[in-house]
């Protein structure tokens, strides 16, 4: 699926991804204001399959997983960044949002058309014919993403155990 | 094998003799803390979907703080749901007592050497007690509540050593802003930050909590201070039991990723310019920026000793014309102590507005928010654009001393000028 790249800078924080004043609402309200302070055009124009590319420390700040959930709700194909904040990275995996570390994002321009191969670890800039290599995700995390997130992953595990913890 | 404090705690929780940085291990959780925002309203539907109950209700601590006092319709509904879930499950519940990161240590339930998780990014605050505590999101928390386990990639340790002693007018907050400025918001690399050195050992438990709290702003997974006599005395004071502390430290010569050494004696009071804690500079380099709101609040900056510090500046002085001072004590316990000591009456004398013992403006989840174009100086941890109010509001960060001094001067100023 070909999508459009939204190119963002360093330290994109969770207050931008999931603004506090909408946190008492549901994910639709939060997603409608996702990145409003940094990129007011993002939430209104993002399409399913679009890709977020960013600099260092994407997802800095809060543990609110609505930051990752909002991007999932908007059906972005994934986030490619030079690095991620630790809690955001874990949240994204747990919600089934592909998050991939790029050793370099040189050559990526906002609005570029691209495809993201999360399993193969490649961001293909289709119009430019450039293939950006991405670091492969650790195997234990890929298993969670492939299951669709932690909840479906745990369901499978409990079914396999044949006995979930009971209370 | 020489191990860091982080390695020792994780190895014990994972049931191993030792672990090596980079290992991915599954560890048993000693304590899980959740709050009203990421807690019941998010985890209960997931647990229901999974069809499982709680792994151990006695190891789960719930605190209502983000939506307190329930000043919006949705916030009040979230609080009601939180209270109902607490009743039905029988977990330990702290309601209306203050912010989770302060209430948990005050409850005596968090002990050195614990492997603990919290459903909030400032959960590294627990590191001040010598616990490996870190923040996670709600889905992952649901997994913990169901299984009592979590995977962790054993972190490297970044040793941050402060030599000498802080001078008068300096606080742990100044250390943290300076570190954010020097190392950046990803300087912690999601590894274990460990604070050490004479200046750290000389700090009280509440000041250590400020250090560990802002390991989050440094991008660390946790922020540890090896437990010592200060830790033991604090635990005694809150009625908690003191475990054997003799091995709860990083071994001499244990391998670390980085070792930074800073001189506490030359540190000047710091402020961070909008919109990042990493925009740190000495307060006297901030060009006497005029402010309209001064906020003493949050887990980071409104504990008893923070209130005491702000009151030290305010006593016998007046607020500058046109400046509003808002004070949201971190916990009821700390506010009660401050009442008894006459500290709260100093805030009242200058006309400060006292807000509930809750996350308040720092989280920005309720009706307490900064208006358009306001310039605020705040004792909180993060000043991201739009976090505390309108996107056009400008938030500077400083210690409670620096916030109070700015409230009196009407502009940012080195608080030492008021500490004759």
What does the pLDDT look like over B285-324, one tens digit per residue? 999 999 999 999 999 999 999 999 999 999 999 999 999 9
- CA B271 from chain centre, in angstroms, equals 17
Chain A, nearest residue to B155 by Cα: A86
Point out the least confidently predicted range of B129-138, B348-357, B359-368: B359-368
ipTM over 0.90: yes
DSSP helix/strand/coil, B404: helix
Is there a contact between B331 and B99 (Cβ–Cβ < 8 Å)?
Answer: yes
CB contact under 8 A, B385 and A16: yes
The CATH number, out of the four listed (3.30.870.10, 3.30.499.10, 1.10.357.10, 3.40.50.2300), of the domain defined by the range B5-263: 3.30.499.10
Number of Cβ atoms within 10 Å of the Cβ of B96: 14
Reply yes or no on whether the pLDDT at B131 is more than 90.
Answer: yes
* CB of B380 closer than 8 Å to CB of B298: yes
Question: Radius of gyration of chain B from Cα atoms?
Answer: 20
pLDDT of residue A167: 40
CA dihedral B28→B151→B300→B63, nearest 10 degrees, is: -50
Cβ–Cβ of B385/A57 closer than 8 Å? no
- CB proximity under 8 Å: B 252-291 to A: 276, 278
Q: What is the spatial distance between Cα B169 and Cα B398, in angstroms, rounded to a whole number?
A: 12
Q: Each residue of A61-104: pLDDT tens digit?
A: 999 999 999 999 999 999 999 999 999 999 999 999 999 999 99
Pairwise CA distance, residues A116 & A77, whole Å: 7
Report, as an integer, the average pLDDT of B113-131: 98
- C-alpha span between B162 and A144 (Å, rounded): 41
Tell me, what's the pLDDT at B304? 98
Q: What is the layout of strands, in order, in the sheet containing A113-117?
A: A99-101, A78-81, A51-54, A3-7, A113-117, A122-125, A130-133
pLDDT of A163 above 80: no
Where, residue-wise, is CATH 3.30.499.10 in chain B?
A: 5-263, 269-418
- B residues 21-60 lying closer than 8 A (beta carbon) to A: 24, 37-38, 42, 46, 49-55, 57
* Domains contained in chain A, CATH given: 3-161 (3.20.19.10)
What is the model's pLDDT at position B117? 98
Mutate: best of A8, A10, A19, A23, partner B, most B CBs <10 A = A23
Beta bridge partners of B35: B63
CATH architecture of B269-418: 2-Layer Sandwich (3.30)
Torsion-angle region of A103 (φ positive above 0: left; ψ -120 to 50: alpha; else: beta):
alpha
- Using one digit for the tens of pLDDT, what is the confidence trace for B148-195? 999 999 999 999 999 999 999 999 999 999 999 999 999 999 999 999
B58-116, pLDDT tens digit by residue?
Answer: 999 999 999 999 999 999 999 999 999 999 999 999 999 999 999 999 999 999 999 99
CB proximity list for B244: less than 8 A, separation 6 or greater: none
Between CA B102 and CA A139 the distance in angstroms is: 37
Contact assignment for B151 to A140 by CB distance below 8 Å: yes
CA distance A100 to chain B (A): 16
Closest partner residue to B52 (CB to CB) among A37, A57, A165 is: A165
CB-based contact, B18 to chain A, within 8 Å: no
**Distance (Å, rounded) from C-alpha A25 to C-alpha A48?**
22
Contact A158/B50, CB-based, under 8 Å?
yes
With CB atoms and an 8 Å threshold, state whether A150 touches B143. yes
Q: Tens of pLDDT along B206-250?
A: 999 999 999 999 999 999 999 999 999 999 999 999 999 999 999
Residue A162: per-residue pLDDT: 61
B-chain CB neighbours of A140 within 8 Å are 24, 151
Determine the residue of chain B that is closest to A164 in CA distance: B52
Tell me how close the Cα of A62 comes to any Cα of chain B, in angstroms. 5
- Closest residue, chain A, to B191 (C-alpha): A86
Q: B410: distance to nearest CA of chain A, Å?
A: 28
Q: At residue B420, does pLDDT exceed 90?
A: no
A65 in B contact zone (CB under 8 Å): yes
Average pLDDT, chain B: 97
Shortest distance between the Cα of B280 and any Cα of chain A, in A, equals 15
Closest-CA distance of chain A to residue B65, Å:
13
Evaluate whether B143 touches A150 at the Cβ level (below 8 Å): yes
Enter the tokens of residue A12. Answer: 């994109």
Q: Which residues in A lie closer than 8 A to residue B384 (C-beta atoms)?
A: 13, 15-16, 61
> Please, are residues A78 and A31 in contact by the beta-carbon 8 Å criterion?
no
CB < 8 Å to A91, chain B: 136-137, 139-140
What percent of chain B has a predicted confidence (pLDDT) above 70? Answer: 100
| pLDDT, position A166 | 44
């Amino acid at each position: 699926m070909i999508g459009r790249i939204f190119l963002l800078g360093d330290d994109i924080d969770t207050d931008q991804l999931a603004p506090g004043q909408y946190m008492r609402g549901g994910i639709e309200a939060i997603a409608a204001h996702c990145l409003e302070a940094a990129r007011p055009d993002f939430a209104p124009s993002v399409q399913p399959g679009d890709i977020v590319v960013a600099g260092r420390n994407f997802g800095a700040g809060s543990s609110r997983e609505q930051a990752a959930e909002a991007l999932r709700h908007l059906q972005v194909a994934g986030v490619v960044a030079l690095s991620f904040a630790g809690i955001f990275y874990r949240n994204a995996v747990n919600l089934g949002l592909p998050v991939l570390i790029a050793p370099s994002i040189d050559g990526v321009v906002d609005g570029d058309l691209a495809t993201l191969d999360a399993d193969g670890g490649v961001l293909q800039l289709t119009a430019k014919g450039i293939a950006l290599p991405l670091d492969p995700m650790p195997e234990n995390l890929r298993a969670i993403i492939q299951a669709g997130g932690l909840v479906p992953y745990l369901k499978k595990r409990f079914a396999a155990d044949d006995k979930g913890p009971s209370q | 094998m020489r191990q860091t404090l982080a390695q020792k705690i994780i190895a014990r929780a994972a049931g191993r003799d030792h672990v090596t940085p980079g290992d991915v291990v599954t560890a048993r959780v000693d304590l899980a803390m959740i709050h009203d925002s990421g807690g019941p309203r998010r985890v209960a539907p997931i647990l229901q979907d999974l069809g499982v109950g709680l792994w151990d209700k006695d190891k789960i601590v719930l605190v209502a703080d983000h939506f307190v006092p329930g000043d919006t319709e949705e916030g009040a509904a979230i609080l009601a749901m939180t209270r109902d879930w607490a009743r039905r499950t029988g977990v330990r519940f702290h309601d209306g007592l203050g912010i989770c990161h302060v209430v948990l240590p005050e409850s005596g339930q968090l002990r050195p050497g614990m492997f603990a998780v919290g459903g909030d990014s400032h959960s590294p605050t627990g590191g001040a007690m010598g616990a490996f505590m870190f923040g996670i999101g709600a889905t992952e928390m649901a997994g913990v509540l169901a299984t009592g386990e979590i995977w962790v990639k054993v972190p490297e340790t970044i040793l941050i050593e402060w030599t000498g002693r802080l001078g008068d007018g300096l606080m742990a907050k100044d250390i943290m802003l300076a570190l954010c400025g020097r190392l950046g918001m990803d300087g912690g690399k999601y590894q274990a930050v460990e604070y050490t050195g004479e200046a750290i050992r000389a700090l009280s438990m509440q000041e250590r909590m400020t250090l560990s709290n802002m390991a989050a702003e440094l991008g660390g997974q946790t922020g540890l201070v090896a437990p010592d006599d200060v830790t033991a005395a604090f635990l005694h004071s809150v009625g908690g039991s003191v475990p054997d502390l003799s091995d709860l430290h990083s071994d001499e010569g244990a391998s670390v990723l980085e070792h930074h050494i800073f001189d506490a004696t030359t540190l000047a009071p710091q402020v961070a310019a909008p919109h990042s804690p990493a925009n740190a500079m000495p307060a006297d380099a901030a060009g006497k920026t005029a402010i309209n709101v001064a906020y003493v609040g949050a887990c980071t900056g409104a504990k008893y000793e923070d209130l005491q510090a702000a009151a030290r500046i305010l006593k016998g002085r007046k607020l500058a014309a046109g400046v509003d001072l808002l004070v949201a004590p971190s916990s009821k316990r700390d506010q009660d102590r401050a009442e008894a000591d006459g500290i709260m009456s100093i805030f009242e004398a200058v006309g400060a507005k006292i807000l509930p013992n809750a996350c308040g403006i720092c989280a920005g989840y309720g009706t307490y928010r900064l208006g358009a174009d306001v310039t605020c100086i705040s004792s909180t941890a993060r000043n991201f654009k739009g976090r505390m109010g309108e996107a056009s509001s400008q938030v500077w960060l400083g210690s409670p001393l620096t916030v109070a001094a700015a409230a009196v001067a009407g502009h940012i100023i080195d608080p030492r000028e008021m500490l004759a």
